Homo-oligomer: A and B are copies of this chain.
Amino acid sequence: MTTSPPRTTRRATPAKEARVPAARGRPRRQLDDSADRRDLILDAAESLFCVHGFHGVTVRQVATEAGVDPALLNYYFTSKRGLFDAVLLRRAEVVNTQRARSMDRYESSTAEMTVEGCLQAFFEPVLTLWESGGDGWRNYLRLIALVNSTPSWGGQAMTQYFDPVIHKLIGLLREVLPEAHAEDLFWCYHFVSGALSLSFADTGRIDNLSGGLCRSNDVAAVRKRLAYFLAAGTTQLCQRMAKTRD
């Protein structure tokens, strides 16, 4: 208990980069797990980080939730931070290529684009994932919402994926609202982003506030209302600011 068997001096395992499964020597399938342990860990981490944030979760909690040894997290992801980043990046490309495609499709198939149409093309793919992407996607979007409103987040890896589609949206809006000032379009996105984030955050706040009249995870209720609200806000902001000396 107190005294321990003699330990030799520490020597690191040779490779210190995050472990990505190689083709050779990798077991194809676990005995009874349908998914890879690596993915199990990511799922567990996702479900915990999205509720409590990075600092509110311990690697031991993630390990327990995933049903694996804590050391395995470091084996695959090098560090707790590495795990967190891996969770963020896992679905980042998927969601954003879907959004990019959605906007491309809208742009090329529509003769007369509208503000509402652009915004819908921007967020409809995400709503769909939220609605029918399973718990994984729901947790992921919650996590993104949390990260999006956390100041201390210096996530440059994320902007790499998210910024292009945002600029694409702003580009579309610029065509529909040619008289709008550039900065006003950015401010519109700012407000859009805030409303979207809070919706995905799924805090249950509106449930309490409305005495059960509204449910914060009611995708169908959010869908139409978001479109109406954001489109009108964007249009009016830009039009009224365009008339202003400022």
- Bound together, the chains give a CA A201 to CA B234 distance in angstroms of 21
A184 touches B225 (CB 8 A): yes
User: Which residue of chain B has the shortest Cβ distance to A194 in the bound complex?
Assistant: B198
CB contacts under 8 Å to B, within A191-216, are 191, 193-199, 201-206, 208-210, 213-214, 216
Map CB proximity to B onto A28-70 as digits: 1 under 8 Å, 0 otherwise: 0000000000000000000000111111100000000000000
Check if A95 is an interface residue, CB within 8 A of chain B. no
Which residues does chain B contribute within 8 Å of A182, judged by CB atoms? 210, 213
Which residues does chain B contribute within 8 Å of A226, judged by CB atoms? 191
A194-B194, A224-B241 known, 15 other contacts, Cβ within 8 Å: A51-B151, A52-B55, A52-B152, A55-B56, A146-B151, A149-B198, A150-B203, A151-B204, A190-B198, A191-B195, A191-B199, A194-B199, A228-B236, A229-B234, A229-B237
Check if A88 is an interface residue, CB within 8 A of chain B. no
A163 touches B209 (CB 8 A): yes
Check if A157 is an interface residue, CB within 8 A of chain B. no
B203 touches A149 (CB 8 A): yes
Check if A189 is an interface residue, CB within 8 A of chain B. yes
A214 touches B194 (CB 8 A): no
- Bound together, the chains give a CA A209 to CA B231 distance in angstroms of 21
B214 touches A159 (CB 8 A): no
User: Which residue of chain B has the shortest Cβ distance to A166 in the bound complex?
Assistant: B209
- Bound together, the chains give a CA A183 to CA B241 distance in angstroms of 30
Question: With A191-B229, A214-B183, A229-B233 in contact, is A152–B51 under 8 Å at CB?
Answer: yes
CB contacts under 8 Å to B, within A126-152, are 142, 145-146, 148-152
Check if A16 is an interface residue, CB within 8 A of chain B. no
Query: Among the interface residues A151, A153, A159, A244, which one has the most CB atoms of the partner chain B within 10 A?
Result: A151
User: Which residue of chain B has the shortest Cβ distance to A142 in the bound complex?
Assistant: B151
Which 4 pairs, one residue from A and one from B, show the smallest C-beta to C-beta distance?
A194-B198, A232-B236, A233-B233, A55-B55
